[in-house]
Amino acid sequence: MTPAALLVALVALSFVAYLTGRARSLAVVGGSRRIHDLHSLPAHYGMLTALSCALPALAVLGLWLAFQDSIIAGLVAAQLPERLRNLPPELLGLVMNDVRNVVAGSVPAESAEPEIRAAAAEYVRLQGIGRAMLTAIVLAVGIAGLLVARSRISPQLRARNAVERIVQGLLIACSLVAVLTTIGIILSVLFEAMRFFARVPWYEFLFGLTWSPQTAIRADQVGASGAFGAVPLFVGTGLIAAIAMLVAVPVGLFSAVYLAEYAHPRFRAWAKPVLEVLAGVPTVVYGFFAAITVGPFLRTWGEAIGLDVSSESALAAGLVMGVMIIPFVSSLADDMITAVPQSLRDGAYALGATKSEAIRQVVLPAALPGIVGGILLAISRAIGETMIVVMAAGLAANLTLNPFEAVTTVTVQIVTLLVGDQEFDSPKTLAAFALGLVLFVTTLALNVLALHIVRKYREQYE
Amino acid sequence: MSSMSEEGKPVRRPRTPRETQELVERSLRRRYGAERRFRAYGLCAVILGIAFVAFLFATILAQGVSVFRQAYVQLDVFYDPEVIDPSGTRREDDLRLADYEALVRTALRAEFPGIEGRRDVRQLTRLVSSGAAHELQRRVLANPGLVGQRERVWLLASADVDLLLKGEIARDEIGEEGRLSEEQLAWIDTLRERGRLELRFNRTFFVNGDSREPEQAGVRGAVMGSFFTLLLTLILSFPIGVAAAVYLEEFAPRNRWTDLIEVNINNLAAVPSIVFGLLGLAVFIGFFGLPRSAPLVGALVLTLLTLPTIIIAARAALKAVPPSIRDAALAMGASPIQTVVHHVLPLAMPGILTGTIIGMARALGETAPLLMIGMVAFIVDVPSGFTDPATALPVQIFLWSDSPERGFVERTSGAIIVLLAFLIVMNTAAVLLRRRFERRW
C-alpha cells in the first residue's frame, strides 16, 4: 500500500477499534442496562481502544517514512560496483542522484549507464519490499494495540482518565512543535555554519571587505578560493533597511497619530483597513513593482536631473520596502497611542495645551517605549525581507553608502547561493548557512529586545 | 511648554492688559498654526499611504488586465490523412507523432496563396505560436474521426503578434531581432481585415502550465501547486496550532517551561521566512531525504511558518471566552477536556478560523522559503499530487518576472492579479466570518 492508502486504512482500523472498545465495555458489564457499573462512558472505552490502536502505528509509520529513503539509499550504494563505490563522497552523491532520477522516471532508463540502471532496479525492488514490510508492520501494530486495549477493558478501568491523560500529552506535544522548530533552526543553521567556519575563519567572514563566492571548479584556476568577507552585505542590508525606515517611520507614525487622535471614527473605520492592505500584499508583488515600475522610474528621473542612478539601486528597493513596512509601524504605534490613558491627555488639555501639543509633549513621550519596540520589530522585518531585494536590488557586492548604486544584501546572497544546482558541501552553499546564522541571531536579538520593551510598557499602564 | 515659558520671561515694566492680550493672541495664532500643520502632516501621511495602495493596484491592473485576452488566428485546417496518418492505422501512437506543424503551415499558405520561398513561408508560420500544433494534436487525439475532415479553428498567435495587437510594441519597432518584419505586418493587417485575427478570451492562461513561450504560459500548474501545498499546510497546521493553543491557554501551569514556550512562539512569529527555508533545506531535504520541489516539503515548511500565527490567534480567541462558561461546565461534572471540547472550543471557533484563514493567506503569498527548497524549477506539467515536482503561484510570479521576453511582463502582472484575487477572497471570508459570528460577552 502507498503511505496515503495506509493512512486511510489506519483511520478505518481505529474507527473499528472505537466500535470494538465501546461494544466490549458494554459486554463486560452485561448490556446497556448495567451501564452504571462502568467507571467511564462506553465512548471513553472506545476512544481508549482507538487511541492505543492508532498512536503506536502512526509513530511507526512516521519514523519509517522519515528514515526509509536514507536507509534504502545506503543499501543501494553499498551494492554499487567497486568502481563507483570507491568514488569520493561528492561524486557518489551525484551517482545516487542519477539513480534517483531514473527511479522517479525523470530520466529515461534507456539513456542511463547499465550500472545506474541496475542500481535503480535494486532501488525499486527495495522500495517495494520496504512498502510491503511497512504495511505489514503498521497494520500488525495497530491490531495488536486494538487487542491489548480490548483485553484490558473492565468495569474498573478508568478509561476517561486514561483518555484525558493521553489527549493532554498530545496537546503538550503539539505545543512543543514551536520549541522544536526553534531548536531545529538553530541546530541546522549552526551546524552548517560551523562547517563553513572550519574552512573560512570567522573573523575573515565578519570583517572581510570583499565578497565573491564564485569558487572555481578546478583548484588551479584563478581566484579558486573565493572571498567570503561579508561586510559589503551587512552594509548593503543596513543601507536598504535605513532607507526603508526613513520612509516607514515618519509616514507610519504620522498616520497612526492622525488615525488615533484626529480622524473621524467613520474615516478611521475605512482608512485603517486600507492601510493594512499594504501589509497583506505578498512581498513578491512588491518586488515586481520595485523592479518594473519604481526602478526604471528612478533611473529616468535621475537622468533628468543629472544623477547616475543604477537600474537596480538601493533606493528603489528601500523605498518599496518602506511602503511595505508602513502599516507595520502604524498599527503598532496606533495600539501604543490608544493604550495611553485618557487622563494624561485630559491633564494636558486642562493646562491649556492644544491637541498637537498634548500629543507631542504628553502622549508620544508616554507611548515612546512601545513605539521604539515597534520600530525595532519593523527593522528586524526589513533586515529579513527577501523577495523585494532579490528582485529589485542587485547581486553586485559593492561596499558603498550611495543609495543610487546597486548593493546586495544578506538575504539576496542566501537565495543566490542556494537556488539552482549545488553541491551540499562546497563553501559556497555553506556560506549561505553562515549568513543565515547572522540573520537569525540579529533578528532574534532585535525581536527579544523589542518584545521585552513592549511588554514592560504594557505592564506600566495595565 | 517651552513656548509659554519663553513668553513668561521677566520684563522690565509691567505690561498693559492690551499688550498682554496682543502677546497671547500672537502666541495663540502661532500655536494654532502649528496645530493645523501637525494635523495636516498626519492627514498627508494617511493619504500618502492610501495613495500607495491605489497606485500599486492601479499599476498592476493596468499592466496585467490585458492578459485575459489573447491574439488568436482563425485558420481552415484540413486534417490531411497523408500527413497525420500515412499508414492509415489510426493508432494513437502514430497520431501522436504526426507532423502537425505541417498542417498549420498548409492552412496558412492556403490563406495567402501567393507566398513562395522558404524565408517567406518561415516568416508566415512565425505568426502562429508553436502551441498551435499542440492544439491540433490535442483535437485529433480527442476525436480521431477528424482525420480527413476540414475544420475552422482559432489557433494561438505568436507572442509578437499578441503584443502588437495589444499595442505593447509599436509598429515602427519592426526589423529588430525577433520582432515583426514589413511583410509580416502586411499579413497581420490582411488577417485582421478578413476577421481572421482578433483578441479573444485567453483560455490558455488558465489551463496551461508554465512554458518558455509567453503566449503558451499559464498559471494552472502554479495554482495547483499552491493548492496542494496549502491544503497540506492546513491539514497539518490547524490541528497542531489549535492543540498547542488549547494547551497553553487552558491547561498549562504557569512556570518557567510554559513561559519559554510562549516566548518561543512570539519570537518564531518574527523570524524572517527565509530562515524557515534554510531549516527546510537542511532538515527535510538534507537530513530526511524528502524530494526536492515537492508540495510536501513546501507544506511542512509553511506549516512551521504559519503555526505561530495560528497559535497566537487561537489563544486570543480562547481567552475571549468568558470563564463563566468553563465554570458552568465543570460544575455540571464535565471533565476538563470535555469542558474544552464541548463548550470552549465551539465558542472560540470563529475567531480561530479567522486567524487560520489569515495565516493561510500569508502562506499563500510566501515565496522566499519555497525558493530554498527548490520549488523554483521550470515545470511544465500540472502537478497532481503532494510529491510531484511543483511550483507555487508567488514563485511563478518571481520566475516570470525574471524572464527577458517582453510578453512575460503581462503574464507576471496577470499572475499577480490571480494571486491577489485569491488573497482578497480569503481575507473577505475572514472578515465576514468575524462579522457574522463575533460575540461580545
Give the distance from CA A278 to its chain's centroid: 21
Task: Using CB atoms, pick whichever of A254, A282, A359 lies closest to residue B394.
Answer: A282
Cα torsion angle, A192, A198, A203, A205, sign: negative
Strand order in the sheet with B150-156: B150-156, B69-78, B197-201
Cα separation values, B48 from A29, A62, A334, B53, B61, Å: 75, 52, 17, 9, 20
Domains of chain A in sequence order: 3-157 (no CATH), 227-461 (1.10.3720.10)
Chain B hits for A390, CB-CB cut-off 8 Å, are: 368, 398
Query: In this structure, what DSSP letter does residue A363 have?
Result: I
The rounded distance, in Å, linking the Cα atoms of A362 and A19 is 67
The rounded distance, in Å, linking the Cα atoms of B266 and A81 is 52
Residue with cell 461580545: B440
Residue-wise pLDDT for A284-332, tens only, equals: 999 999 988 888 888 888 888 887 888 788 899 999 999 999 999 998 8
- Percent of chain B exceeding pLDDT 70 equals 95
Chain A hits for B278, CB-CB cut-off 8 Å, are: 185, 188-189, 414, 418, 432-433, 436
| B134, B218 contact by CB (below 8 A) | no
What is the residue type of B410? E
| B155, B135 contact by CB (below 8 A) | yes
What per-residue confidence (pLDDT) applies to B313? 93
CA distance A241 to chain B (A): 14
Query: In this structure, what DSSP letter does residue B340 have?
Result: I
Enumerate residues 6+ apart whose C-beta is below 8 A from B187.
B112, B124, B127
Q: Which of B127, B408, B420 is nearest to A280 (CA)?
A: B420
Cell numbers linked to A37: 457499573
Task: Compare A14 and A77 and report the one with higher pLDDT.
Answer: A14
What per-residue confidence (pLDDT) applies to A240? 94
Closest residue in A to B411 (Cα) is A288
| B250, B408 contact by CB (below 8 A) | no
CA angle, corner A455, sides to A453 and A456, nearest 5? Answer: 65
Cell numbers linked to A129: 519490499
Cβ–Cβ gap A69/B290 under 8 Å = yes
| B362, B273 contact by CB (below 8 A) | no
The whole-model pTM stands at 0.87
Task: Using CB atoms, pick whichever of B264, B272, B364 lies closest to residue A182.
Answer: B264
Q: What are phi and psi of B157, to 5 degrees?
A: -85, 165
Residue-wise pLDDT for A7-30, tens only, equals: 899 999 999 999 999 999 888 888
Q: Which of B211, B216, B157 is nearest to B187 (CA)?
A: B157
What per-residue confidence (pLDDT) applies to B404? 78
Enumerate residues 6+ apart whose C-beta is below 8 A from A4.
none
For every residue of A111-156, DSSP letters joined together read GS-HHHHHHHHHHHHHHHHHHHHHHHHHHHHHHHHHHHHHHH--TT
How many residue pairs from chains A and B have C-beta atoms closer than 8 A?
269
Contacts of the segment A291-295: beta carbons below 8 A, 24+ positions apart: A291/A316, A291/A391, A291/A392, A291/B401, A292/B63, A292/B401, A292/B409, A292/B412, A293/B59, A294/A319, A294/A320, A294/A392, A295/A392
The rounded distance, in Å, linking the Cα atoms of B191 and A454 is 68
Whether residue A462 is predicted with pLDDT greater than 70 in this model: the reply is no
Closest residue in B to A166 (Cα) is B337
What interface predicted TM-score (ipTM) does this complex get? 0.87
Q: Which SS3 state, helix, strand or coil, does residue A419 take?
A: coil
Q: Which of B301, B308, B309, B307 is nearest to B284 (CA)?
A: B301
Task: Using CB atoms, pick whichever of A171, A278, A285 lies closest to residue B247.
Answer: A171
Q: B220-437 belongs to which homologous superfamily?
A: MetI-like (1.10.3720.10)
Whether residue A194 is predicted with pLDDT greater than 60 in this model: the reply is yes
Cβ–Cβ gap B336/A164 under 8 Å = yes
Q: What are phi and psi of B154, to 5 degrees?
A: -90, 120
Helices B256-268 & B295-320 angle (0-180, nearest 10): 120
Cβ–Cβ gap B46/A271 under 8 Å = yes
CA distance A103 to chain B (A): 12
Whether residue A164 is predicted with pLDDT greater than 70 in this model: the reply is yes
The C-alpha torsion from A176 through A177 and A181 to A184, rounded to 10°, is: 80
Q: Count CB atoms within 10 A of the CB of residue B307.
A: 27
Residue-wise pLDDT for B381-395, tens only, equals: 888 888 888 889 999
Cβ–Cβ gap B52/A168 under 8 Å = no
The rounded distance, in Å, linking the Cα atoms of A450 and A448 is 5
What per-residue confidence (pLDDT) applies to A388? 92
| B73, B155 contact by CB (below 8 A) | yes
Cβ–Cβ gap A447/B270 under 8 Å = yes
Phi-psi region of B289 (alpha: psi -120 to 50; beta: other; left: phi over 0): left
What per-residue confidence (pLDDT) applies to B300? 94
Cβ–Cβ gap B246/A171 under 8 Å = yes
Residue with cell 504526426: B98
**In terms of C-beta density within 10 A (0-12 exposed, 13-18 middle, 19 or more buried), how is residue A384 classed?**
buried
Query: E strand or H helix at B167, and its extent?
Result: none
Phi-psi region of B405 (alpha: psi -120 to 50; beta: other; left: phi over 0): beta
Cβ–Cβ gap A278/B49 under 8 Å = yes
Q: What mean pLDDT comes out for the span B226-250?
A: 94
The rounded distance, in Å, linking the Cα atoms of B394 and B39 is 39
The rounded distance, in Å, linking the Cα atoms of B438 and B441 is 10
Q: What is the largest CA-CA distance in chain A?
A: 96
Cβ–Cβ gap A175/B271 under 8 Å = no
| B207, B218 contact by CB (below 8 A) | yes
Whether residue B213 is predicted with pLDDT greater than 90 in this model: the reply is no
Cα torsion angle, B116, B119, B123, B125, sign: positive
What per-residue confidence (pLDDT) applies to B56? 92
The rounded distance, in Å, linking the Cα atoms of B108 and B178 is 20
Task: Using CB atoms, pick whichever of A69, A285, A357 lies closest to residue B416.
Answer: A285
Chain A hits for B274, CB-CB cut-off 8 Å, are: 384, 386, 411, 414-415, 436, 439
The rounded distance, in Å, linking the Cα atoms of B385 and B229 is 10
Q: What mean pLDDT comes out for the span B324-331?
A: 94
| B378, B399 contact by CB (below 8 A) | yes
Q: Which of B282, B278, B294, B277 is nearest to B367 (CA)?
A: B277
Task: Compare A460 and B215 and report the one with higher pLDDT.
Answer: B215
CA distance B289 to chain A (A): 6
The mean of the pLDDT values for chain B is 86
| B312, B262 contact by CB (below 8 A) | no
The mean of the pLDDT values for chain A is 86
Q: Which of B391, B389, B181, B370 is nearest to B278 (CA)?
A: B370
Enumerate residues 6+ apart whose C-beta is below 8 A from A331.
A256, A272, A275, A276, A279
Residue-wise pLDDT for A345-390, tens only, equals: 999 999 999 999 999 999 999 888 889 988 999 999 999 999 999 9
Lowest mean pLDDT: which of A185-199, B37-51, B426-440?
B426-440
CA distance B140 to chain A (A): 27
What per-residue confidence (pLDDT) applies to B144? 79
Residue-wise pLDDT for A249-293, tens only, equals: 999 999 999 999 999 999 988 888 888 888 889 999 999 999 888
Query: Which residues lie across from B152 on neighbouring strands?
Result: B76
Residue-wise pLDDT for B240-294, tens only, equals: 999 999 999 999 888 888 888 888 898 888 899 999 999 998 888 888 777 788 8
Q: Which SS3 state, helix, strand or coil, does residue A282 take?
A: coil
- Percent of chain B exceeding pLDDT 90 equals 37
Q: Count CB atoms within 10 A of the CB of residue A76.
A: 24
Burial string for A231-263 (b: 16+ CB within 10 Å, else e) reads bbbbbbbbbbbbbbbebbbbbbbbbbbbbbbbb
Closest residue in A to B247 (Cα) is A171
Q: Where are the domains of chain B?
A: 68-202, 220-437
**In terms of C-beta density within 10 A (0-12 exposed, 13-18 middle, 19 or more buried), how is residue B88 classed?**
exposed
Residue-wise pLDDT for B162-180, tens only, equals: 888 887 777 766 555 556 7
Top mean pLDDT of A70-74, B62-66, B309-313 is at B309-313
Chain A hits for B394, CB-CB cut-off 8 Å, are: 282, 284, 387
Task: Using CB atoms, pick whichever of B34, B59, B427 lies closest to residue A289.
Answer: B59
